[in-house]
């Protein structure tokens, strides 16, 4: 049975940190939809996310960073428009895809590209501050709708995960916009909370 703690419970953050540090997955609210995350650089942690969701391992999973300073450690080349997007919309509902840094171990980062996001949610920011970068995907079974409250997460993932943090209804309710930043011009891979018009307005 999955344990549930309210995000306002003083025990919630310590419990989530302790669970993540053992290499297990935790579900939690973000400013978009509920996320399912593990710490990076822990053996088999990434595989857990794929197994929990029933997700194809050829599909990338986003890395959430605590701040912009960590970006250069994960990305090989960041085009000027990528820097503009990051400065304008992070923290927030935008995932940017870059060519990954060659120094990252393939065991944890098997794909040539890497999706990065800095979230705008106080609980997730606290997790990242304590645990460092996390691999995070939406907290739902593959092919099923994204979840916007804890009841929906529990319905889909009960007994698949040890801990669910209940933060009520997600204010955004729409997944992040995903933008490919590997070419000379950007390409929207998934339309989400931030429109193309809004993206272009900062260039």
User: Rounded to two decimals, what is the model's pTM?
Assistant: 0.93
Q: Which CATH number fits domain 3-200: 1.10.1060.10, 3.40.50.20, 3.90.870.10, 3.40.228.10?
A: 3.90.870.10
The model's pLDDT over 32-69, given as tens digits with 9 standing for 90+, comes to 999 999 999 898 898 999 999 999 988 889 999 999 98
Token readout for 69 is 């300073």
Name the one residue in this structure whose structure tokens are 């018009």: 197
Residues 143-200 pLDDT 10s = 999 999 999 999 999 999 999 999 999 988 899 999 999 999 999 999 999 999 999 9
Contact between residue 44 and residue 154 where contact means Cβ atoms under 8 Å apart? no
DSSP strand pairing (113-117 vs 26-28):
unpaired
**Which segments of 66-110 does DSSP mark as H helices, in order?**
71-74, 80-89
Determine the straight-line distance between the first and last CA of the chain, rounded to whole angstroms: 48
């Amino acid at each position: 049975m999955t344990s549930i703690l309210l995000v306002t419970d003083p025990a919630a953050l310590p419990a989530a940190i302790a669970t993540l540090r053992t290499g297990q997955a935790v579900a939690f609210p973000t400013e978009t939809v509920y996320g399912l995350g593990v710490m990076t650089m822990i053996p088999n942690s990434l595989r857990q996310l794929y197994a929990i969701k029933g997700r194809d391992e050829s599909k990338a999973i986003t890395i959430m960073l605590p701040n912009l300073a960590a970006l250069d450690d994960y990305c090989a080349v960041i085009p000027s428009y990528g820097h503009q997007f990051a400065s304008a919309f992070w923290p927030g509902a935008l995932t940017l895809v870059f060519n990954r840094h060659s120094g990252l171990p393939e065991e944890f980062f098997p794909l040539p590209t890497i999706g990065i996001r800095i979230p705008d949610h106080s609980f997730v920011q606290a997790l990242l501050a304590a645990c460092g970068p996390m691999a995070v995907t939406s907290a739902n079974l593959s092919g099923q709708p994204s979840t916007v409250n804890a009841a929906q997460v529990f319905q889909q993932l009960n007994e698949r995960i040890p801990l669910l943090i209940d933060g009520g209804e997600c204010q955004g309710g729409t997944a992040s916009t995903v933008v490919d930043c590997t070419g000379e011009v950007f390409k929207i891979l998934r339309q989400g909370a931030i429109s193309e018009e809004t993206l272009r307005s900062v260039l």
